[in-house]
Amino acid sequence: MPPPLPSALRQFGKPRINRAASPVLALATPWLLVMLGSLSPSWPVIASAPVLPPFGFLLLVGWQQLRPGLFPVWAGFPLGLFDDLFSGQPFGSAVVLWSAAMIALDFIDHRFPWRGFALNWLVASAFITAYLLFALQIANLGGGNTSPLVLLPQLAVAVLVYPVAARLVALADRFRLIPIRKV
Residues that bind other proteins (CB under 8 A): 39-55, 66-69, 72-74, 76-77, 80, 84-93, 95-96, 99-100, 102-103, 109-110, 113-114, 135-136, 138-147, 150-151, 154
Residues shown for the chain: 183
What's 150's DSSP letter? G
* Residue 135: C-alpha distances to residues 64, 65, 73, 93, 116 (Å): 20, 22, 21, 7, 28
Shortest separation between residue 98's beta carbon and other proteins, angstroms:
8
Cβ of 175: how many Cβ atoms within 10 Å?
Answer: 16
Shortest separation between residue 11's beta carbon and other proteins, angstroms:
27
Shortest separation between residue 183's beta carbon and other proteins, angstroms:
23
Q: Are 128 and 159 within 8 A, CB to CB? A: yes
Q: Which is nearer to other proteins, 149 or 183 (CB)?
A: 149
Q: Which is nearer to other proteins, 19 or 31 (CB)?
A: 31
Shortest separation between residue 41's beta carbon and other proteins, angstroms:
5
Q: Which is nearer to other proteins, 14 or 85 (CB)?
A: 85
Instruction: Please calculate the CA angle 95-31-55 and round it to the nearest 5 degrees.
Output: 65
Q: Are 85 and 95 within 8 A, CB to CB? A: no
Q: Which is nearer to other proteins, 158 or 178 (CB)?
A: 158
